[in-house]
Chain A
């Protein structure tokens, strides 16, 4: 028992040390999901788009865009995302393999999303769909980072001013007409780079980033992994 406590303390200390390193020494998994609605309990994930940030730069070759099968597509999401049932059938992957793939990639990386309640909520419910090993990770929410920065600078931002395109506009980032999961993941990754570049004139540590707009999360499955 004491041994396990020591191990836990060691890993905690290790993680804390890791966190004090500058942000660019870490790898980031920038994710966006398309869903059938806004409630993780009712709605489902249709597709996932992601890209990695390594050595402080977006590695464009790591971009992925996956559609999940068994999602019920309603007319609204067809309208927004132009995804139809046949797309899902053709390109859809089996849930299980997608989640294993996801878990493999997310390991040892920091999750980056824009508006964490939604994205974390959907990730958690995805993890419930399959027997999966647990996964713990640090996360950063570019929306929270933005809100913190603006409130520290005592800037008043109006309604809708923290939506992804509005945040990007403040940094002079280009306007992307598409809103599929991959484009939004790219857009979020660029936003993070911009936010970091504007960080009080020094390269922040991961700790500083997590402190102003992030946290730690654990995904686990009720079904025990085999």
Chain B
């Protein structure tokens, strides 16, 4: 008896695409030798050897994760996995983890491969699954900024123009030209019985009519391109792009399967569409030659961020994307400054502090930066750096990265120092260890070099770390300062917070949540032997060096992710409705589950704070 003869198997296969589209002979063939397995929650499925084959979830839920553990896809009843392990030996090292106990069909590899050859539709289904997973995979890679893929896999129908400009084959060239002029389009679709038979573009009118002196009364059928290339409305942007570059055309009609035109896509549409990809934005930034044009390019930045948030990109990835863009922008402005004021008299580094250093900027982040000079400048050289720094900070502000209200900017003479000057500054903070001096200095301890030789900055960090290690009072003071603000645990009980001003009864996700975790991570990070600047890296390092329990570290990392996600979503909403990237959250907009989550998130921060007090501030109270 074959598996397909089992009523329950047949019923399921028959109602699950793409298997439902197969003939019964094909179904029977595919199901030859099929096995049914049961996998328990938390199990990592083996997809090697004979198990490198197509799997179908009968009941349950699984996750596909990248080799580094990033979430690629979530699967449930009727979803398949293991396809890339069949076709390409799983080049991306994808893993399948069982989320809920699952019943899973495991097909024979041979039957599956034969069917891929035999049925184009069946093969296309899996090719599509594979592309969409790859797209998600690229989102899962923290370092992979190749988000154009993300844009390219958008459906054509989302970006095509739908107001069709059409003519009939019997219309004259003159008639068509006047319709095109009225509609201000550069091409017209030629239809016969509602079906697409040709296309005429501006260029055709030029080369096939005007250039050869043809009459304006000849019918369109004489000048049109017959049976033009077209694309199915279900295709992806990348297909359109490939087709257009292959055929070297700039107009691509979009049709249904029966050749009824439903839209038009032009090279310009594609370009415009792609403007919102991070990589392209970075390319554009690097190509601009003055601040005015840079500023124009950067106007897309906030929309880009909103898009990234909308596409559910992971928050740490959004942070790295924004950091990559701000770093490029900063470097480009420095280059422009150097073009303007001439080469620097000696080497220097441009330092960023705070969120840009930690790579967790969001909409509307401020600039916090400084300069490190490789030698003590003469007054003339000092003037050069003053002008350059002013140019950079103004440029950044014009491009949307607001000036720092606390004036922590390279344009402030205080923050243009030699390496020794910086070392001394940090030494003063560390050794004075007074709460008041640390209050505004803490963001300097999040430091990254975006321009110039990194080694100088690494040395500075090492010097600072060794002073911290020698001065235990410093971490004690830092801990007490940082833990002075408590997470709003009682918030949901009595709505106590921010009881005055515009944001009354609202939750400030940044200052009452994220900043507290950033502060904790900084304390532990500085206590570690190895310096990291990103909050999650610091927590991980602290757990690795056993300064912090693995549980607390993981909980804090999860809490950070959760708050960051809430903050980004809140900011996006405010941005889209008011144009202001406010990170305030109205608790009445939360579901009870979300509130519960948020409550436990705050409890985690409180636990983290008491653990930090225990470890660093004991005896200094």
Contact = CB atoms under 8 A, between A and B. Distances in A.
Do A and B bind?
yes
A12 B40 CA distance: 34
A57 B7 contact: no
Contacts of B9: 60
Contact of B40 (A55, A60, A197): A197
Interface stretch (B26-34, B126-134, B137-145, B299-307): B26-34
A61 B2 contact: yes
Interface in A33-78: 55-65
Nearest to A191: B38
Given A60-B9, A172-B101, A198 B40 contact: yes
Given A178-B8, A193-B37, A61 B59 contact: no
A63 B38 contact: no
A80 interface: no
Given A60-B34, A186-B8, A197-B40, A171 B3 contact: no
B344 interface: no
Interface string A162-205: 00000000011110101010110010011001101110000000
B37 A58 contact: yes
Interface string B81-100: 00000000000000000001
Contacts of A173: 59, 103
A58 B7 contact: no
B39 interface: yes
Contacts of A197: 38-40, 101
11 contacts: A57-B36, A60-B6, A61-B3, A173-B59, A173-B103, A178-B8, A182-B6, A183-B7, A190-B38, A193-B103, A194-B101
A59 B6 contact: no
A63 B6 contact: yes
A88 to B, nearest CB: 19
Chain A: interface secondary structure? mixed
A24 to B, nearest CB: 10
A57 B35 CA distance: 6
A174 B60 CA distance: 9
B58 interface: yes
A194 B38 contact: yes
A83 to B, nearest CB: 14
A63 B35 contact: no
Interface in B34-92: 34-40, 58-60
Given A61-B3, A176-B8, A178-B8, A171 B36 contact: no
Given A58-B35, A60-B3, A197-B101, 7 more contacts: A58-B36, A63-B1, A65-B1, A171-B101, A173-B59, A174-B103, A190-B103
Nearest to B35: A57
B101 A57 contact: no
Contacts of B40: 197-198
B488 to A, nearest CB: 38
B60 A172 contact: yes
Interface in B1-25: 1-3, 5-9
A200 to B, nearest CB: 12
Nearest to A49: B6
B106 interface: yes
Contacts of A174: 58-59, 103
Given A58-B37, A183-B8, A194-B38, A63 B3 contact: yes
Contact of A63 (B5, B32, B39, B60): B5
A61 B36 contact: no
Contact of B37 (A56, A61, A182): A56
B8 A57 contact: no
A208 B8 CA distance: 31
